[in-house]
Structure 1
């Protein structure tokens, strides 16, 4: 399966990987900024999100991204991953380190840590709503949990639309199992920045601290004002951080 994606711009490649609360539209506030800065920018939808169908058989998100880059003839790219997208980005960078030039993890998840109490409570509440057929309630729960206090109504409405789309696609599809390879964070060789939000769940902040400690040379930026989706909540604050870390196009 080829992931639905957008691509624009010239210069070094940056691939944007979305949160599981959203789809590739979450990067609208960064899209033209990065293109105008001189980058070639790619943003895919993972399976079951946006315009990419849900998986029908075993799947591996990092391998899907590798296959997309191969299809596009892209050997190396900088990766910016939000939440679940950050989880995929860290796995890609560990499994194919020579293909990653920079790594930005925005409030990243990781499968190397067991869920904390707050993450388990959220998952249980979401499961209960979905089992009861209350899709609107599950959407509302996700928006309340993951969108920080600086976000306006338009951002909350956008996240709700993206989350609703994901539920509609995934709940209509048969179950398919993830088939993900193991990985070792010690293999990550790209310069790495981990961004965490002061209003995010404790479990996500713990993941950011864990990844910063385990990836050699990684630096962490704590955004006291941010929730879980800072690139949407206040892009005017986040975009300069991304541009500064990614560097001038000639440098990557």
Structure 2
């Protein structure tokens, strides 16, 4: 099964990995700007999101992404990832360090992270709403939790549509399959990493971004004082500028 995806542009390859609230459309604002900046872009939908069907058996998001890159003839790429997409990016970079040229992680999840009470309470509330059949309520809970104060009505509507579609696809699946967890060490990652956090985000993701410079060989942390959990949607131009500045430098385009 090949992940639903888009390809555009020419130059060093960037692979854009979406959050668990969204799908590959979350990169719409960055897509033309990064292509114009001189990059070849790939963005994909994980299983159960966007245009990719829900899983029909055990699977690995990391293996799915690597298989997609193989099918496109891409040997190396920089990974730009948001939230749970960041966990996938870290797994790829740890298991196949020779294939990853850089990591730009926006409010990333972390393999093995023990959730705080705050994050557990969110999960319990979401589960309760879904079990009660209040899917619209679960969508609104996600919007209120993950979008920061700079998210405008159009952004909220876009995220609302992506999250609702993900719930509809995943809940309609005849059986639920979780991802297969591989064993790997983050210390194997050699690619330079930019770890971005948002001052209005849930505590867990601020902690993770702050910890990554201690866990990786070459990482730096930047906190955006205006951002929630999805800064690329909240202030697209500012995040594009941050990404291009980092990537141009570490990929030696300047």
**TM-score category by the smaller chain?**
over 0.9
Give the corresponding residue for 1:235: 236
Q: Distance in 2 between matches of 1:238 and 1:181?
A: 31
The answer to which of 228-237 and 202-211 deviates more is 202-211
Distance 1:249 1:198, change over 3 A: closer
Q: TM-score, normalised by structure 1?
A: 0.98
C-alpha deviation, 1:251, in angstroms: 2.5
Task: Map residues 1-252 of structure 1 onto 2, 5 A cutoff.
Answer: 1-173=1-173, 174-247=175-248, 251=252
Aligned 8 A contact 2:101 2:251 in 1 = no
Structure 1, unpaired ranges of 5+? none
Number of residues of Structure 1 aligned to a counterpart in Structure 2: 252
Distance 1:17 1:80, change over 3 A: same
SS in 2 for 1:67: helix
Q: Distance in 1 between matches of 2:93 and 2:111?
A: 14
C-alpha deviation, 1:217, in angstroms: 1.9
SS in 1 for 2:239: helix
C-alpha deviation, 1:179, in angstroms: 1.1
Q: TM-score, normalised by structure 2?
A: 0.97
Structure 1 residue runs of 4 or more that deviate by more than 2 Å after TM superposition:
248-252
Distance 1:249 1:36, change over 3 A: farther
C-alpha deviation, 1:184, in angstroms: 0.7
C-alpha deviation, 1:111, in angstroms: 2.5
Over aligned residue pairs, what C-alpha RMSD do you find?
1.2
Q: For each residue in 1:67-124, what CA deviation from the matched residue of structure 2 results, as whole angstroms up to 9, or x when unmatched?
A: 0000000000010000011110011101100100110110001122111111000000
